[in-house]
Amino acid sequence: MGAQRDVFAGDGARARRALVREIEAYGVLRDPAWRAAFSAVPRHLFVPFYYVAGAAGYDRLWSGHPDPGRRDRWLRGAYRDEPLATRVRDGELVSSSSQPSLMAQMLEALEVRDGHDVLEIGAGTGYNAALLCHRLGDGHVTTVDLDEEITESARTHLAAAGYGPAVITGDGARGCPERAPFDRVVATCTLPSVPYAWLSQCRPGALVLTPLSTGLALLRVRDGAHAEGRFLATPAYFVALRGGNARFPPARPTGLPRQAYEDDRFRFLFTLAEESLDTREALSFWQREGRPERERFGVTVSEGRQWAWLDDPAGPYAWPLPGEPR
């Protein structure tokens, strides 16, 4: 079945060109293949509706609204370089379409090559999977989500845009063994630690890019029991993985100065090492080490153990990752 007729194709193409220029201004999309993907894939087909937070709660914008002004607002919003809330249940955000410039940074960090097989954890709207399909071809892309409603919606959006990757309903922490092995794994949801199942489903030398704490850890896989790498410089806030591995960042502890907790760099460290450092220890360490940026931190997975570290995996500053991966 081919792609359906897109009544917003013309306006969408113009808005898409403007979005690509905006992302390029951040120094991203240096790879022509990813520039071509963002130029070609119509984001608006993946967000036929989304929610905008307001004083009275969430306002739903959608493509079929009878008011032309509201339809225009929906289309313009679909091509802003902003995350979009796509599913809200009982006032809680459960799924979103990530900020396009952040998606571009993540995709370029994966360093994919022709013929690579990619596993995406967190199907979302299907937009990221479509970008991967444009770059690699449908047969090389697998996307997994726990929520059947989300996977069905993603499958519908992908078909409307003319793409057909494998869309699997299942627990992303368990990967997708029936489609393994993979050359790249990318998660679009926050986890407390790296699921060992991902490593066991990777080819040697594969890359795993996953949100941890409020950052993005890029790990090189040696084998099914070993991986290591550093965090990217960029902040990253994602919806938590649902299922047994789900976990949310802690609330501000009593006694912690608001200024420190609201500093993005401290919040990253505090969430990353909260099971090893109490509030005072974390604040003292952070200040003593010169308020380190994310890229000074890394993660090692080795023989059933996982730890985060500052500067050197064998150095004096290391903490076990919180939570129990499966």
Distance between terminal CA atoms of the chain?
A: 38
| Structure-token match 């993907």, residue found | 37
Buried b (16+ CB within 10 A) or exposed e, 187-205: bbbbbbbbbbbbbebbeee
Q: Which of 39, 63, 95, 200 is catalytic?
A: 95
| Structure-token match 């029936």, residue found | 178
Nearby residues of 71 by Cβ (< 8 Å), 6 or more positions away: 63, 64, 65
- Catalytic residue at 95? yes
Task: Tell me which residue of 102, 318, 109 sits closest to 217, measured CA to CA.
Answer: 109
Bridge partners of residue 228, in order along the sequence: 220, 300
Distance of CA 291 to the CA centre of its chain: 25
Bridge partners of residue 210, in order along the sequence: 217
Q: Which residues are catalytic?
A: 95
